[in-house]
């Protein structure tokens, strides 16, 4: 018998090496039916199914294929048929002995995640019924009409800024209320009613609550001077620059909602400040006069806090600078106050994106923050700009397990947002200390994604320390005689990988067409 490949040969050897014995009638009927289908239909499916079943009975009970009345020739005919149908000439042996077990093995890597993702890390879409309940309650307590709820100005008008109002909406222990009151003497707390509606009642450490209401070291270190973000990176008014070709314009110090883990906490909040045009002009002049600059990030605070007219003016000015080739806008508002995303704003984004690529960079830290409302906002934005990217912060109790972080990345991807960075929470502010996560934990979480979820749902893991420094472990285990040993992140398996020939790379002065011009 001329087997198509060693896999098919191996499969036949296995199938016919078992014992010939009598089998239960129902097994015989099952196999007969599969055989009939495999012979009659012009599909590979029934053939694969038949061989799989035969292999299963051989492996479980040592039953030879002969026990079902098969000759080698009969089955060989089916193996041939399989190969002929398959467009790529894949053999039934390869499929049954290799491909299917590999898929099963891969499935087992994500089984635990799939079992836990909706209970350990439910999205705001899955929690929507409860969020609607919360919304009704908040509207009643604060006296917010539906109309006001659905507008940005309404959300800001009723923003929750003091612990007294907060405690009407969320059950907080008396001691916590006292502590928050103390912290908020210095710290600007603010939740929009919409963002507050994402907090799940009864969960004492709700991940949305932890991001918006001070706890832990913020309480213990109340009043401690927070180191300002380094002035040594601000070469011009409103400008931060770590890199030659990318700069940020800190366009405002305001946000719609303030985060307990905010890296810019020393500059943000406290007192709302509208910057005057002169400040923006000075920033723009710095960019105009520095031809190296190619990519400009309009950040804050939150850049969507800017009135539409001002945002449009800024984007227009940037688009008119020839060496500026692309722009980014940093905003959390689609997550915290999606009501801000109106048609006028969307038109401005599209108009600027038509001139030069515009990306929106947001911050989503839990799947819980993706609701039907924020998903819709991101969908609308994604239609008008060249990309919507997420920069999450790795935070204890919020997204510091595989299940939570994977679920976050998958959920935002399903909401038109691409995971871009995950930042390790900064060491600079003692008030964040309780939310920090060891780097190794972050590495396991992020690197565990390789091979297990879509590649474009995998963010890069970053430390911010005078610029962004990647924290990923390398997968290069060793280097032996021009070969490197690579480790597959998802299985730990080590594979040899020949490196490029350095002689050819560095010393080939007759490279490609060059050899014709001796
Ligand atoms: C984050 C950041 C950038 C952008 O970095 P990318 O790696 O290009 O996303 C640029 N400038 C400053 C000051 C930043 O904080
Ligand atoms: S939205 Fe950004 S800038 Fe504003 S408080 Fe949160 S982390 Fe800070």
The backbone torsions φ and ψ at residue 484, rounded to the nearest 5 degrees and listed phi first, read -105, 155
Taking the CA of 192 as reference, the closest ligand is 2
Taking the CA of 243 as reference, the closest ligand is 1
Which one has a higher pLDDT value, 320 or 430?
320
Nearest CA to ligand 2 atom 3: 301
Question: Given the CA of residue 261, which atom of ligand 2 is nearest to it?
Answer: 7
Here the contacts of 455-461 (C-beta below 8 Å, separation 24 or greater) are: 456/413, 456/418, 456/419, 457/409, 457/410, 457/413, 457/418, 457/419, 458/409, 458/419, 459/390, 459/392, 459/409, 459/419, 459/420, 459/421, 459/422, 460/420, 460/421, 460/422, 461/394, 461/421, 461/422, 461/424
Taking the CA of 303 as reference, the closest ligand is 2
The residues of the chain that CATH labels 3.20.20.70 are: 231-517
pLDDT (tens digit, 9 = 90+) per residue, 207-229?
999 999 999 999 999 888 877 76
**Of all helices (H) and strands (E), which one includes residue 480?**
strand 476-480
Nearest CA to ligand 2 atom 8: 262
Q: Is 97 in the pocket of ligand 2 (CB under 6 A)?
A: no
Question: Given the CA of residue 255, which atom of ligand 2 is nearest to it?
Answer: 4
Answering whether pTM is above 0.75, one says yes
Q: Is 410 in the pocket of ligand 2 (CB under 6 A)?
A: no
What separation in Å is there between the alpha carbon of 332 and the centre of ligand 2?
A: 7
- Rounded to an integer, the average pLDDT of 466-481 is 88
Question: Given the CA of residue 361, which atom of ligand 1 is nearest to it?
Answer: 9
- Rounded to an integer, the average pLDDT of 169-197 is 95
Which one has a higher pLDDT value, 426 or 380?
380
**Residue 186: per-residue pLDDT:** 86
Going by C-alpha positions, the residue among 458, 457, 463 that lies closest to residue 446 is 458
**Of all helices (H) and strands (E), which one includes residue 424?**
strand 418-424
**Of all helices (H) and strands (E), which one includes residue 41?**
none
State yes or no: pLDDT of 180 exceeds 80: yes
pLDDT (tens digit, 9 = 90+) per residue, 478-491?
999 889 999 998 88
What whole-number distance in Å separates Cα of residue 259 and Cα of residue 45? 54
Taking the CA of 263 as reference, the closest ligand is 2
Q: Where are the alpha helices (DSSP H) in 323-371?
A: 333-336, 343-355
Question: Given the CA of residue 299, which atom of ligand 2 is nearest to it?
Answer: 3
Q: How far is CA 389 from the centre of its chain?
A: 9
State yes or no: pLDDT of 436 exceeds 70: yes
Query: Given CA atoms 67, 70, 72, 76 in this order, what sign does their dihedral have?
Result: negative
What separation in Å is there between the alpha carbon of 191 and the centre of ligand 2?
A: 12
What separation in Å is there between the alpha carbon of 11 and the centre of ligand 1?
A: 55
Nearest CA to ligand 1 atom 7: 468
What whole-number distance in Å separates Cα of residue 415 and Cα of residue 93? 41
Q: Is 242 in the pocket of ligand 1 (CB under 6 A)?
A: yes
Question: Given the CA of residue 332, which atom of ligand 2 is nearest to it?
Answer: 1
Average model confidence (pLDDT) for the chain?
Answer: 95
Percentage of the chain beyond pLDDT 90 is 87
Nearest CA to ligand 1 atom 4: 246
Nearest CA to ligand 2 atom 1: 332
What whole-number distance in Å separates Cα of residue 487 and Cα of residue 479? 12
* 3-state SS string for 48-72: HHHHHHHHHHHHHHCECHHHHCCCH
What separation in Å is there between the alpha carbon of 259 and the centre of ligand 2?
A: 5
State yes or no: pLDDT of 269 exceeds 80: no
Give the pLDDT band (50/70/90) at residue 63: very high
Q: Is 427 in the pocket of ligand 1 (CB under 6 A)?
A: no
Taking the CA of 468 as reference, the closest ligand is 1
**Of all helices (H) and strands (E), which one includes residue 161?**
none
Nearest CA to ligand 1 atom 11: 247
Q: Is 423 in the pocket of ligand 2 (CB under 6 A)?
A: no
State yes or no: pLDDT of 259 exceeds 90: yes
Going by C-alpha positions, the residue among 294, 188, 299, 321 that lies closest to residue 234 is 299
How are the residues of the chain apportioned to helix, strand and coil, as percentages rounded to the nearest 5?
50, 10, 40
Q: Is 268 in the pocket of ligand 2 (CB under 6 A)?
A: yes
Directed axis angle between helix 45-61 and helix 72-85, to 10°?
140
231-517 CATH pick, 3.20.20.70, 3.10.129.10, 3.90.1200.10, 3.90.1640.10: 3.20.20.70
Give the pLDDT band (50/70/90) at residue 230: low
Q: Is 240 in the pocket of ligand 1 (CB under 6 A)?
A: yes
pLDDT (tens digit, 9 = 90+) per residue, 285-319?
999 999 999 999 999 899 999 999 999 999 999 99
Q: Which of 246, 268, 296, 389 maximizes ligand 1 atoms within 8 Å of its Cβ, making it the mutation to test the pocket?
A: 246
């Amino acid at each position: 018998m001329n087997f198509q490949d060693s896999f098919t040969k191996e499969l036949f050897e296995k199938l016919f090496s078992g014992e010939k014995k009598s089998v239960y009638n129902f097994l015989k009927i099952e196999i007969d039916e599969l055989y009939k289908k495999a012979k009659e239909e012009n599909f590979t499916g029934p053939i694969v199914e038949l061989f799989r079943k035969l292999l299963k009975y051989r492996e479980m009970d040592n039953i030879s294929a002969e026990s079902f009345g098969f000759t080698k020739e009969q089955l060989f005919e089916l193996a041939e048929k399989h190969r002929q149908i398959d467009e790529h000439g894949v053999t039934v042996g390869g499929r049954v002995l290799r491909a299917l077990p590999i898929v099963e093995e891969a499935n087992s890597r994500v089984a635990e995640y799939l079992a836990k993702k909706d209970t350990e890390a439910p999205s705001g879409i899955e929690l929507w019924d409860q969020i609607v309940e919360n919304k009704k309650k908040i509207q009643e307590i604060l006296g917010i009409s539906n109309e006001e709820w659905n507008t940005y100005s309404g959300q800001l008008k009723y923003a929750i800024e003091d612990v007294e109002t907060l405690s009407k909406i969320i059950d907080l222990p008396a001691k916590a209320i006292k502590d928050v009151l103390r912290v908020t003497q210095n710290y600007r707390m603010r939740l929009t009613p919409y963002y507050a509606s994402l907090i799940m009642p009864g969960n004492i450490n709700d991940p949305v609550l932890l991001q918006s209401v001070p706890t832990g070291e913020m309480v213990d270190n109340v009043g401690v001077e927070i180191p300002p973000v380094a002035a040594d990176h601000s070469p011009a008014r409103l400008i931060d620059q770590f890199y030659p070709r990318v700069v940020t314009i800190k366009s405002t110090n305001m946000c719609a909602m303030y985060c307990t883990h905010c890296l810019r906490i020393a500059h943000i909040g406290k007192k709302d400040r509208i910057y005057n045009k002169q400040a923006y002009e000075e920033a723009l002049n710095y960019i105009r006069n520095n031809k190296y600059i190619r990519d400009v990030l309009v950040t804050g605070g939150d850049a969507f806090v800017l009135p539409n007219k001002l945002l449009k003016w800024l984007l227009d000015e940037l688009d008119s600078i020839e060496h500026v080739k692309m722009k980014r806008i940093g905003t959390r508002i689609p997550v915290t106050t999606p009501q801000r995303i109106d048609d006028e704003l969307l038109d401005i984004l599209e108009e600027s994106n038509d001139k030069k690529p515009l990306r929106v960079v947001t911050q989503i830290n839990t799947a819980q923050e993706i609701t039907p409302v924020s998903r819709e906002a991101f969908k609308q934005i994604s239609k008008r700009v060249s990309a919507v990217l997420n920069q999450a912060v790795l935070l204890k109790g919020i997204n510091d397990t595989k299940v939570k972080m994977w679920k976050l990345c998958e959920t935002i991807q399903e909401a038109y947002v691409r995971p871009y960075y995950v930042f390790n929470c900064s060491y600079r502010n003692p008030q964040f200390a309780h939310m920090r996560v060891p780097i190794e934990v972050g590495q396991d979480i992020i690197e565990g994604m390789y091979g297990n979820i879509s590649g474009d749902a995998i963010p890069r893991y970053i430390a911010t320390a005078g610029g962004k420094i990647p924290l990923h472990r390398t997968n290069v285990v060793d280097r032996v005689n021009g070969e490197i040993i690579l480790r597959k992140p998802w299985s730990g398996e080590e594979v040899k990988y020949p490196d490029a020939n350095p002689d050819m790379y560095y010393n080939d002065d007759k490279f490609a067409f060059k050899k014709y011009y001796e």
